[in-house]
Structure 1
Amino acid sequence: MGWGSIYVRRMKVFSLAILIYLDYKSLKHRQKWTSDSEKAALWEKAHERNANRIVKLIIELEGMWVKMGQYFSVRADGLPGAYPRLLKQLQDSLPPRCLKEVCILQQMWQHRLGWAGLTEALSVCRTIQKELGKSMDDLFTTFVEAPIATASIAQVHRATLRDGQEVVVKVQHEGIKTIILEDLKDAKSVVEWIVWAEPKYNFHPVIDEWCKEAPKELDFNKEAENTRKVSKNLGCKDNRIDKNPEHRVKVLMPEVIQSTERVLILEYMDGVRLNDSRSLDSLGVNKKNIVEEITRAYAHQIFLDGFFNADPHPGNFLVTKSRPHLPILLDFGFTKLLSSSMKHTVAKMFLASAELDALSGDIVLFLRVLNLLAGLSTALNVSVSYYRIIRPFAESALECDTNEGPKDNAEWVCDSPVNSEVEAKLRALLVQLGYADKILGIQVCAYKDGNVIIDTAAGVLGNYDPSPVQPDTLFPVFSVTKGVTAGILHWLVDKGKVKLEEKVANIWPEFSSNRKDLIKVHHVLNHTSGLQNALSSLVQDNPMVLCDWEECLKRVAMVAPESEPGQQQLYHYLSYGWLCGGIIQHASKRKFQDILEEAMVHPLNVEGELYIGIPQGMIQPISNSNAMLHTH
């Protein structure tokens, strides 16, 4: 592959990026003169048009762009519907290179019958012979010329070894190393340009990690080593039984027969592609069980072994045709090794939303795996509780951590200046509650007339993290905002903008669905609306949705109550902040952040920026949504 071809690829990438950017910019301008009923159709057409453009270019360029397309094909939570739907065809359907054609070209070159530069297009046959040091006849009794799969860096052929064993032969595409390294440079440049043009879309953590990890996939010896290691860790061959029954994993992996840098020979395993729903249904496969078993396998890799495959798209899984139907894990070129401290960090994050010092590349890959696993259930149309499956593995990673109660005042309550007499009394009470095991960790801050009168922190961060709570510790937004949203709602009542006896549906029209038309504002404030578990399923199914403020408001508006309003006082576990927040936004007809600034920030004389939850610099790589309350 010559440098001229590389520049052509580069021009195509940047030309398409500019074209798509201008397309959306133009649409934003045109929609000002478009009716609301037509806007959705215009945007859908634009998404369809640009997704088709991207897929077409990815298929043409192949290489690293295919892997990136595969990643985004299962990110249904972060892209408009047309993108995941059209990108799915990249999971295992690239047009294969014709083995017969390149073998003929090789013969032409060997007999000096043709084209200058033909040495750059070495055939699959020549690659195998060169890498393994033997002729095709010496290696195989049969070799199927038509590839059974074509991935971003290699294609796979069925074959039979001289000893009769059925195998698959993975052969690296000619020139792919140069292509991937140059494509990574181009992708990084595109990401930098996007951040400059649209700062809210920051994909730097993902592309930086890929730039570090992708070149490792170009050595099949490493992939062979990774495959053996994961297979041993999961007990695929020896049927090892873990001490904890909850950690047992039932998956299969192919045995490595032989490897070189550019050729990998694996045991042939007969199975159906995970994304072939029709074949799975005809075999009577329980798709939910398959996805749950794959999730267990990844939880085992991440939390017990600290070594996991960071590229779990549907094209990398098979399901056995015979009963019991088991998942087959493939392709371990892109793996990640977690240090013990990082393994504990991701476990703490998963179990207890512990404070993170920084969102490193390791965390990005962990979150990427969670998103890709969630995409499997979307692709197969099954509902899987990822939290329930992964939790035992994460708990095991932290089983050596201890959490002791307060030993004395200095250790239990943070040693910071006492601002008032009431704060001194509060600290004494917190110590008593700590000894009685009534408090895990707590922060209390109170203002009066613009002055701080209480600023106290006590306890530890969580059951799985004995670190002490500090005054500047960042806690999850989901509990802190309950008091904030309730306070602002009472503030609106005091100002006459909302009445306690008013029906929520009169303020928030979408809220009237599913028998919620009798719920009043005071039912929400005193926890008698019957919506105590409105968002609880999200914690089990897909906790990342909790980062999306607008999506959670929509789900609260559509959910059905569990009991009649006013009958029983039951604590609104997750739903309270969004219930109050939805009423506040619709009653004021303003964004919550604007109301927060008027109701609290200005009266309290807060200087600089106020974050409730996680600062934007940390949450942005996880989600482009507003997952925190923030104002200047």
Structure 2
Amino acid sequence: MVTRIRRYAQIVDVLSQYGFGIGIERLFPGKTKFRLPSTGKSIDTLTVYERMRLVLEDLGPTFVKFGQIMSTRAELLPPELIEQLKKLQDHAKPIPFSEVMEVIRESCPDCEEFFQEIDETPVASASIGQVHRAVMRDGTVVAFKIQRPGIAELIETDIAILQSLAERIETVFPETRLYNPSGMVEDFAHQIVKELDFTRDARNADRMARNFRDVPGIRFPKIYWQFSSPHLLVMEFVEGVRIDDREAIMAMGFDPHEIGVRGFHAYLKMIFEDGFFHGDPHPGNLLVTKDGDIVFLDFGIVGILRPEKRQNFINLLFALSTDDIELMIRSLEGFGIIIAEQDREPLRDDLYIMMHDFGGGEAEVGQMNFSLVVSELTESMRRYRLKVPMNLMLLLKVFMMVLDIGVRLDPQFNFSKEVTPYLVKLADTNTLSAGYIKRASMSLLEGADALLDMPRNLNLMLRRLS
């Protein structure tokens, strides 16, 4: 077990290797000894943001996770740093199989009675857990997700150090307070502690499976609760290809366009109907099986939206597609973002210029890039030091990732055309005219502005679109 003092020393050593020794000396004057970068690590050609990423990678799982979560905070951090944080990879040295079996025996003493084999070679190895394929005595193939031994203690130590460093940074470098380092660490600690409990992962999977029980073509792995615990998750083993592997999908005889439509509609349902969505839709977490089903994996990160927050997101998308600056500001405030009175007029000007640059509501479908618009919006938030809640940033990140998958599957993917049936399904057909449906779908921003019927703002939307 790594003691806090020893871990502090490791952190200081890594920081100094990448040229941050002077900063450490300012934080702890006269109390640290740092060394210049070793000859094995040339940093002369690296930017400060590249060096920051390398520091996180060298410091291991906690810091990699911290960087990955911070990569969603584009409204707080410089774009150059965000780009580097997005490159962080959650890979780790495999756990020795003897240690894997120790975790299994401790977490599930009876497991060996029910399983005839457990593959020694892991299917995947990440910072928190490792996955192994196993076969039950009745021939059922399952996946064992084992929590890395000692990871909880390491994360606890690292969080305490991060909290201490954040407080010290805010004291020594007052200008950093606008980035709220302590708040960043607090948000991270809240998230990472949840990910350490595998039963929460299992509950999330079960809840999504219930939400989609009547939706064909969308599946979630079955959880074997009798064998699972906070440190061990046993679930159905799913074989398939990554959802962005267009060639493999076609080789199996499926239409990539249809797969994209189905996946997109699944997320629309999660966000706008269920208010409970899968929060990590990178292509490795969405598989297409030989039967053509889309299977979701990894439920450690989920988003939860109350009905009023779903309404606010609809308002934001609607505002982006129709150049409604006032509605855009109100929808941001609806997420709890506080805009200082003196910043309102300059912010209005910036948002107006942004929408003019991107074509706004006059743009034809496909001319506007939702990711670029959101990037510009978050840059405005950063410029005016707006504190954006994590659930909104997660929602925007997820929406952009899902749209990106759709475009990879079909560069000509027409999101507005595909969203129209979804609008019809959800809308109050006694209120929404066919003309509204057509105009709303054609105003979609890269197909992302699913203007769903919500009672509170329906009349406003109808008036603006009539």
Partner of 1:69: 68
CA displacement 1:99-119 (0-9 Å, x = unmatched) = 34xx2xxxxxxxxxxxxxxxx
Q: In 2, Cα distance between the equivalents of 1:207 and 1:390?
A: 38
Task: Note the C-alpha offset of 1:155.
Answer: 0.7
Task: Note the C-alpha offset of 1:538.
Answer: 8.3
| Structure 1: stretches of 5+ with no match in the other structure | 23-44, 104-122, 242-248, 404-462, 464-535, 544-632
**What amino acid is aligned across from residue 96 of structure 2 in structure 1?**
L
Partner of 2:103: 127
Task: Note the C-alpha offset of 1:292.
Answer: 3.6
Task: Note the C-alpha offset of 1:96.
Answer: 3.8
Aligned 1:187-206 pairs, distance under 5 A? 193=169, 196-197=174-175
Say which of 333, 337, 361 aligns to 2:390.
Answer: 361
Conservation of the 8 A alpha-carbon contact between 1:168 and 1:267: yes
Partner of 1:539: 445
Say which of 142, 154, 177 aligns to 1:167.
Answer: 142
- After superposition, the Cα gap between the structure-2 partners of 1:209 and 1:200, relative to the gap in structure 1 and judged at 3 Å, is closer
SS of the aligned residue for 2:224 comes to: strand
More contact order relative to length (CA 8 Å, sep ≥ 6): 2
Conservation of the 8 A alpha-carbon contact between 1:58 and 1:66: no
Say which of 122, 129, 133 aligns to 1:147.
Answer: 122
Q: In 2, Cα distance between the equivalents of 1:74 and 1:289?
A: 32
- After superposition, the Cα gap between the structure-2 partners of 1:70 and 1:214, relative to the gap in structure 1 and judged at 3 Å, is closer
- After superposition, the Cα gap between the structure-2 partners of 1:392 and 1:3, relative to the gap in structure 1 and judged at 3 Å, is farther
Q: In 2, Cα distance between the equivalents of 1:401 and 1:204?
A: 50
Q: In 2, Cα distance between the equivalents of 1:281 and 1:81?
A: 37
- After superposition, the Cα gap between the structure-2 partners of 1:72 and 1:200, relative to the gap in structure 1 and judged at 3 Å, is same
**What amino acid is aligned across from residue 61 of structure 2 in structure 1?**
E
- After superposition, the Cα gap between the structure-2 partners of 1:80 and 1:126, relative to the gap in structure 1 and judged at 3 Å, is same
Say which of 220, 233, 249 aligns to 2:211.
Answer: 233
Task: Note the C-alpha offset of 1:394.
Answer: 8.0
Q: In 1, Cα distance between the equivalents of 2:22 and 2:254?
A: 43
Q: In 2, Cα distance between the equivalents of 1:204 and 1:286?
A: 47
Q: In 1, Cα distance between the equivalents of 2:429 and 2:165?
A: 44
Partner of 1:340: 307
SS of the aligned residue for 1:539 comes to: coil
Conservation of the 8 A alpha-carbon contact between 2:143 and 2:237: yes
CA displacement 1:352-383 (0-9 Å, x = unmatched) = 54512423333232223223334545776846
Q: Kindly tell me the number of residue pairs found equivalent between the two proteins.
A: 351
- After superposition, the Cα gap between the structure-2 partners of 1:365 and 1:196, relative to the gap in structure 1 and judged at 3 Å, is farther
SS of the aligned residue for 1:65 comes to: helix
Q: In 1, Cα distance between the equivalents of 2:298 and 2:281?
A: 9
Conservation of the 8 A alpha-carbon contact between 1:272 and 1:319: yes
- After superposition, the Cα gap between the structure-2 partners of 1:16 and 1:389, relative to the gap in structure 1 and judged at 3 Å, is farther
- After superposition, the Cα gap between the structure-2 partners of 1:13 and 1:328, relative to the gap in structure 1 and judged at 3 Å, is farther
TM-score w.r.t. structure 1 length?
0.46
2:260 is the alignment partner of 1:263: no
**What amino acid is aligned across from residue 329 of structure 1 in structure 2?**
F
Q: In 2, Cα distance between the equivalents of 1:144 and 1:281?
A: 30
SS of the aligned residue for 1:167 comes to: strand
Task: Note the C-alpha offset of 1:251.
Answer: 1.8
CA displacement 1:121-143 (0-9 Å, x = unmatched) = xx11111111112263x231111
- After superposition, the Cα gap between the structure-2 partners of 1:139 and 1:19, relative to the gap in structure 1 and judged at 3 Å, is farther
- After superposition, the Cα gap between the structure-2 partners of 1:350 and 1:165, relative to the gap in structure 1 and judged at 3 Å, is same
Task: Note the C-alpha offset of 1:272.
Answer: 1.8
- After superposition, the Cα gap between the structure-2 partners of 1:394 and 1:272, relative to the gap in structure 1 and judged at 3 Å, is same
User: Which structure is higher in helix share?
Assistant: 2
**What amino acid is aligned across from residue 361 of structure 1 in structure 2?**
M
Task: Note the C-alpha offset of 1:212.
Answer: 2.5
**What amino acid is aligned across from residue 160 of structure 1 in structure 2?**
V
Task: Note the C-alpha offset of 1:280.
Answer: 4.8
Structure number, greater radius of gyration: 1
CA displacement 1:472-508 (0-9 Å, x = unmatched) = xxxxxxxxxxxxxxxxxxxxxxxxxxxxxxxxxxxxx
CA displacement 1:214-265 (0-9 Å, x = unmatched) = 3112111121111011011012xxxx15xxxxxxx63221111132111011
**What amino acid is aligned across from residue 313 of structure 1 in structure 2?**
H
Aligned 1:477-492 pairs, distance under 5 A? none
- After superposition, the Cα gap between the structure-2 partners of 1:163 and 1:392, relative to the gap in structure 1 and judged at 3 Å, is same
Q: In 2, Cα distance between the equivalents of 1:383 and 1:188?
A: 47
| Structure 2: stretches of 5+ with no match in the other structure | 24-44, 320-326, 338-388, 437-441, 450-466
2:325 is the alignment partner of 1:328: no
- After superposition, the Cα gap between the structure-2 partners of 1:160 and 1:229, relative to the gap in structure 1 and judged at 3 Å, is same
Say which of 246, 256, 271 aligns to 1:302.
Answer: 271
Aligned 1:156-555 pairs, distance under 5 A? 156-184=131-159, 193=169, 196-197=174-175, 208-235=186-213, 240=214, 250-258=217-225, 259-274=228-243, 279-280=248-249, 283=252, 286-320=255-289, 322-323=290-291, 325-352=292-319, 353=327, 355=330, 356-357=333-334, 358-359=336-337, 360-376=389-405, 382=411, 384=413, 539-540=445-446
Aligned 1:532-611 pairs, distance under 5 A? 539-540=445-446
Conservation of the 8 A alpha-carbon contact between 2:414 and 2:447: yes
SS of the aligned residue for 1:540 comes to: coil
CA displacement 1:438-492 (0-9 Å, x = unmatched) = xxxxxxxxxxxxxxxxxxxxxxxxx9xxxxxxxxxxxxxxxxxxxxxxxxxxxxx
Q: In 1, Cα distance between the equivalents of 2:412 and 2:178?
A: 31
Task: Note the C-alpha offset of 1:57.
Answer: 4.2
SS of the aligned residue for 1:164 comes to: coil
